[in-house]
Amino acid sequence: MTGAFIPLDVMASATDTGRRPSSLRVLWRSTIGKKTVMAVSGGILLLYLIVHMLGNLKIFAGSTSFNEYAEWLRVFGEPALGEGWLLWVVRVVLLTAVIAHIVAAWQLSRLDIRARPVKYAHGRRRATYATRTMRWGGVIIALFVVWHILDLTTGHVNPLGEEGRPYENVVATFSTWYGNTIYIVAMLALGLHIRHGFWSAAQTLGVNHPRRDRALKATATGLAVALTVGFVSVPIAVMTGIVS
């Protein structure tokens, strides 16, 4: 006969073990917690993207205006802040969010793949395209960001690569076929990512509700379309000669 029986008096205290691990640790260890990290970091990145996209649109105001805007970002807050401080603060926050987002996604994906070790013989399309492409879409976006920084922040891979002349650098990039292709593919992936990601984050954070669901889904689609269109308008403008 088997079975380890715990005496009654021990049992009484077994349910209350005194010290619990801190909530943050519990959060990070749980699947819901990791999803929460993804939702929050995704939200930060989304906010940044909105600002970034709006800033990009300044390119339609011409070279001077765009370059002044870029410069303003560098000197914002002076003299309270030093030159470039704002950008570095933003960069640190973004980097943290990106790392958290990617590490959580990586760990969750590994868990998910392990949780379904054998596939069905009778496969079937599941879920929407946006939902199914979250992982690969995320990888594409991550690779894009690396290229994007080397291209327009550090200028290493930019065809022009002149410091202090962002407008001209942008035009240079979008004057190449590969620059446009990489950028547009990445922005489409981003749109899909946001479309599922925004609603998914609302689910994860528990803020969705049957009465709110349609509005949230519409907002997600609206944000995805607005961001994609906003970002893609720049290369298209360069290609069509509106911006040169």
Partner 1 sequence: MTLMKLTLRIWRQAGPDEPGAMTTYELDGVSPEMSFLEMLDTLNERLSAEGEEPVAFDHDCREGICGSCGMVINGDAHGPERTTACQLHMRSFSDGDVIDIEPWRAGAFPVIKDLVVDRSAFDRIIGAGGYITAPTGSAPEAHATAVPKEAADLAFENAECIGCGACVAACPNGSAMLFTAAKVVHLNALPQGAPERESRTREMVAAMDAEGFGGCTNVGECATACPKGIPLFSITRMNREYLRALRKG
Partner 2 sequence: MTTTEQPPGGTTTPTGTGSGTYADFTVGDPVADTRAPLDTPIAERWRQRTFDAKLVNPANRRKHTVIVVGTGLAGGAAGATLAEQGYRVLQFCYQDSPRRAHSIAAQGGINAAKNYRNDGDSVYRLFYDTVKGGDFRARESNVHRLAEVSVQIIDQCVAQGVPFAREYGGLLDTRSFGGVQVSRTFYARGQTGQQLLLGAYQALSRQIAAGRVEMHPRTEMLDLIVVDGRARGIVARDLLTGRIDTYFADAVVLASGGYGNVFYLSTNAKNSNATAIWRAHRRGAHFANPCFTQIHPTCIPRSGDHQSKLTLMSESLRNDGRIWVPKRKGDERPPREIPEEERDYYLERLYPSFGNLVPRDIASRAAKNVCDEGRGVGPGGQGVYLDFAEAIRRMGREAVAAKYGNLFDMYERITAEDPYEVPMRTYPAIHYTMGGLWVDYDLQTSVPGLFAIGEANFSDHGANRLGASALMQGLADGYFVLPVTLGDYLARLGGIERVDADHPATQEAVSFVTDRLYALLSNNGDRTPDSFHRELGTLLWDECGMARNDAGLRKALERIPALREEFWERIRVPGSGEALNQSLEQANRVSDYMELAELMCLDALHRTESCGGHFREESRTPDGEAMRDDDAFSYAAAWEYTGTGNAPVLHREALEFAYVHPTQRSYA
Closest CA to 230 of 53, 47, 66, 70: 53
- Residues constituting the chain: 244
Tokens of 3: 């079975």
The option from partner 2, partner 1, none interacting with 78 (CB < 5 to 8 A, set by class) reads none
The option from partner 2, partner 1, none interacting with 199 (CB < 5 to 8 A, set by class) reads partner 1
- Give the three-state DSSP class for 131: helix
The option from partner 2, partner 1, none interacting with 3 (CB < 5 to 8 A, set by class) reads partner 2
Q: Rule CB under 8 A: is residue 33 a binding residue for partner 1? A: yes
Which DSSP state fits 126? -
Q: Rule CB under 8 A: is residue 121 a binding residue for partner 2? A: no
Kindly state the smallest distance separating residue 126's Cβ from partner 2, in Å. Answer: 25
Kindly state the smallest distance separating residue 195's Cβ from partner 1, in Å. Answer: 12
How many CA atoms does the CB half-sphere of 38 hold within 13 Å?
28
Report the residue number, 20 or 241, with the smaller CB distance to partner 1.
20
Closest CA to 225 of 99, 130, 103, 89: 130
Kindly state the smallest distance separating residue 162's Cβ from partner 1, in Å. Answer: 43
Instruction: Return residues touching partner 2 (CB under 8 A).
Output: 1-8, 11, 14-15
